[in-house]
Amino acid sequence: MTYYRIQCLKTASHTAPEPVFLFMKGFNRTRDVNCYFWLIQGEGKTILVDTGMGGSYPNQLKESAKGSEAGFPVGPGEDTLSQLENHGLKPEQIDIVILTHLHYDHIANIPLFTHAEIVVNKEGWEAARHPIHKVFDQFPHDVLDYMVENMQSKLRLVGKEEEVAPGIRVIWTGGHTACSQAVQIATDIGRVVLTGDVAYLYDNLEEDHPIGYGVNVYESVEALRRLKAAGDVLLPGHDKEIMTRYPEGKIN
């Protein structure tokens, strides 16, 4: 069997009104969440899901990074390079980067991964590059342009369900963004699914309650159902509780 190890890496903190995370719920409350990226190792491959934030960006991205990171403080040692170093890794050792979607907090450090294949949902990539209406345009275009100009040959645009490496599949979810995809990983604790932001919190999964911040609530509801069937262990995109359930972020 093909088995991988999964490590959750915290890269920032964030606070937002609860209806962002839970559709039409908690209008008088806020929630504190974490931002994560994920290290997957096994079968001779070193893979990241999303890229982490913080550190030194290429010059043309520095200015907008300041604005984008204002509400997402990156704590000491939480930036991508420090987190990789903790695990004895340098960016050039990453073979594959799977992007759950193209929001800033998930792709900020993509320029570090010059040697990796970058896996993005095909239709969602086009939708992000050419939004059909301003309300769907929630993407950092300077980072997307950087990818086109400097990493085009490394971009692997994938379909709705595709094997990325033996034992690792992407499953398109939509819901949060048109480019949202989950990642299903074969491990010794069963099929682990990194849901991406179609489930921000355990509450989304356990109460079967869709997220509030998204482009399509129907898709979000449908995705929760499909992901529960696709995984033995589900890990939501931003829940602080992950670090309690899995001390130091070690999933298996």
Binding site for Zn ion (CB under 5 A): 103, 197
Q: Which is nearer to Zn ion, 19 or 167 (CB)?
A: 19
Q: Least distance to Zn ion from the beta carbon of 176, Å? A: 6
Q: Are 9 and 37 in contact (CB under 8 A)?
A: yes
Q: Which is nearer to Zn ion, 103 or 169 (CB)?
A: 103
Q: Least distance to Zn ion from the beta carbon of 3, Å? A: 29
**What is the number of the residue whose Cβ is closest to Zn ion?**
103
CA separation for the pair 242, 164 (Å, rounded): 25
3-state helix/strand/coil string of 24-91? CCCCCCEEEEEEEEEEEEECCEEEEECCCCCCCCCHHHHHHHHHHCCCCCCCCCCCHHHHHHHCCCCH
CA separation for the pair 161, 163 (Å, rounded): 7
Q: Least distance to Zn ion from the beta carbon of 27, Å? A: 21
CA 237 to chain CA mean position, Å: 7
Exposure on the CB side of residue 118, measured as CA atoms within 13 A: 27
Q: Which is nearer to Zn ion, 43 or 69 (CB)?
A: 69
Q: Least distance to Zn ion from the beta carbon of 180, Å? A: 8
Amino acid in the structure at residue 38: W
Q: Least distance to Zn ion from the beta carbon of 200, Å? A: 8
Q: Which is nearer to Zn ion, 10 or 103 (CB)?
A: 103
Q: Which is nearer to Zn ion, 108 or 168 (CB)?
A: 108
CA separation for the pair 214, 195 (Å, rounded): 14
Q: Least distance to Zn ion from the beta carbon of 101, Å? A: 6
Q: Which is nearer to Zn ion, 197 or 239 (CB)?
A: 197
Q: How far is CA 181 from CA 11, 70, 77, 136, 160, in A?
A: 20, 26, 28, 17, 8
